[in-house]
Amino acid sequence: MKKKLILFSLVCSCVALSAFAQEREYVIVVHGGAGNMGDLQDDPERSVQYYAALDSALMIGDRILASGGEGPQAVMAVINYFESNPLFNAGKGATCTADGTFELDASIMEGKDLSAGAVAGVKTVKHPINAAYAVKTKTDHVMLSGSGADAFAKEQGLELVDNMYFATPKTLGWIEKLKQESKKNGTVGCVVLDKNGNLTAGTSTGGMFKKKWGRIGDSPVIGAGTYADNNSCAVSCTGHGEYFIRHAVAFNVCARYKYLQEPVEKAAGYIINTELNTNEGNGGLIAVDKDGNIAMPFNSTGMFRGYLYKLKGTDKVEKEVGIGDKMVRYGSAKP
């Protein structure tokens, strides 16, 4: 009996050591919006464009994190890529307002000190996430909006564009008609656990189709669309912003993890599938906790999403992307 106990202890020790050796050195999770994606999932040609874009975003972040780059640099680089890709409702390709113009929002937050920056309703900033970071690092404020935010971006030397830069042939069609509902889904976001153990979250969006009166959603609202805390997790949300604001979704995921000690997947799943539902608060979120665990729940028919992580002590990188219920391996996973 004693020998069996010793053998059991040795096995447990080996398992524990193996688990420790397999800790995640860094993690990156991305989303490109959530919504009704039934038609897209049945269209292989269009789907592969999104799979490729999500894969590209992950590899951009991986190159920065693998070389020792910090979370904010990885988050901004990834979101810059999304903001330049007309497939997504952020930056180039953003959806339009009821007046046929473009108003963009973004935010970024670091978990190590809870520092955050955001811009709302900017019209000439090519990369709103960069302006959000500048607010965080160059001012005493958290959020700047409208013409003030555009003026600040200009003062900081950020790249500016004419408002119609954000249009695509598809959005120009919407501007001409403004009759059909948009099929562009949500927002883009990125959450990171870097090699230093720091968490960062960022979100960027073109907002709601045909929005009026300077409407602002959850994406630039710290605690609603974006939140990061090294004692819990980093979260970026996408969906019907009004509901995500009312439920303080990003903060509440962190709070459930921190105070109820729920695993991040359980905390995120509860918020998305219980507090919110498919009729109110349609959407999803991505999250990574301080230990590198990942959550990507959504209550819509689909969400553009993907993750990549590197295991400590190995050259192994795990990576998957998804649109609907299933995740698939796509592209190269070499570090």
Q: Among all residues, which ones are annotated catalytic?
A: 187
24-35 β-sheet, strand order: 143-145, 116-122, 104-110, 199-205, 188-193, 24-35, 302-311, 317-322, 327-328
Distance (Å, rounded) from C-alpha 77 to C-alpha 60?
A: 7
- Token readout for 43 is 């269209």
What's phi and psi for 134, nearest 5 deg?
A: -65, -40
Is 217 annotated as a binding-site member?
A: yes
With CA atoms as reference, report the closest residue to 106 among 60, 144, 157.
144
111 annotated as ligand-binding: no
- Tell me if 238 is assigned to a ligand binding site: yes
CA atoms of 55 and 139, how far apart (whole Å): 34
- 215 in a known ligand binding site: yes
Distance CA(135)–CA(107), nearest Å, equals 9
Residue 264 near residue 289 (C-beta atoms within 8 A): yes
288, β-bridge pairs: 234, 294
31 annotated ligand binder: no
Q: Is 39 annotated as a binding residue?
A: no
Please name every residue paired with 322 in a beta bridge, in sequence order, or none if there are none: 305, 327
Calpha distance 187→282 (Å, rounded): 13
Q: Which residue has the tokens 């180039």?
A: 92
**Alpha carbon distance 116, 182 (integer Å):** 31
269 marked as binding residue: no
Q: Which residues are annotated as a binding site for substrate?
A: 215-218, 238-241
Q: Which residues are annotated as a binding site?
A: 215-218, 238-241
